Amino acid sequence: MADLADVNSDLSQQVVIDTQSMPWQSSPSGTVWRKPLYREGGEFGPVTSLVRYQAGGKFRSHAHPQGEEILVLAGEFCDDHGRYPQGSYLLNPDGSQHAPYSDHGCTLLVRLRQYAGHDRPQIKLDTTQAHWRQGMVEGLTVLPLYAQANYTENMALVHWQPETYFARHTHPGGEEIFVIEGTFEDEHGVYPQGSWIRSPHMSTHTPFSRQGCLIYVRVGGLA
């Protein structure tokens, strides 16, 4: 069993991780592997991680107190409620239950126990078929994934065309970014595919992409 010490648990600190250089760690399943990006409280606290199911990988049926968020990065993820190919986005609300598995293997971005509140909806979205909106600047398109007025977080996919530049701005509640494709940049660094960036409450930056990129963004929830 992998060490379950806290990982990047100080939310006041900026964190930048090249996930492609991280080793996979075992999970209680034995057929599912993970790369922890954020963890508090060991196996039963809030967690953000990359998760890889080997072919035939599975977990027993289990509940999700405080919810679960999944973005399918590669392969096909499955549970007793459906099958979710690459590009699928899932939000399983507080108290939901399932028995997840993958016949042929898959890679996921997963957030556990970070969405308390029984009034949240169940979301199952195929982002490859969804309608993207024009962003605030030319070259930027946005696919909203989830937002709810009672809570502070707002999740979306954002596609940057090459040579797209955004104005300097501040993030009340912080921001998390995972680079799915291409290279994302700001004045603080260059973040290739597989980068995970967490910026704290009231952090400021001027983002751009010279190459173009696709990113997952979560704004808020880190105050």
Q: What string of DSSP letters covers 137-154?
A: STTEEEEEEEE-TTSS-E
Cα-based distances in Å from 39 to 50, 64, 125, 184: 12, 16, 26, 24
The tens digit of pLDDT for each residue in 144-177 reads 999 877 778 899 999 999 999 999 999 999 999 9
Which pLDDT belongs to residue 119?
A: 87
Which pLDDT belongs to residue 149?
A: 73
93, 188: one domain: no
pTM attached to this predicted model: 0.95
Q: Is 54 inside any structural domain?
A: yes
146, 98: one domain: no
Find out whether 52 and 27 touch, Cβ atoms under 8 Å. Answer: no
Instruction: Report the domain count for the chain.
Output: 2
Q: Is 6 inside any structural domain?
A: no
The tens digit of pLDDT for each residue in 118-147 reads 889 999 999 999 999 999 999 999 999 998
26, 116: one domain: yes
Q: Is 186 inside any structural domain?
A: yes
Residue whose C-alpha is closest to residue 186's, from 217, 210, 220 = 210
Q: Is 3 inside any structural domain?
A: no
Task: Give the domain range for residue 210.
Answer: 133-219
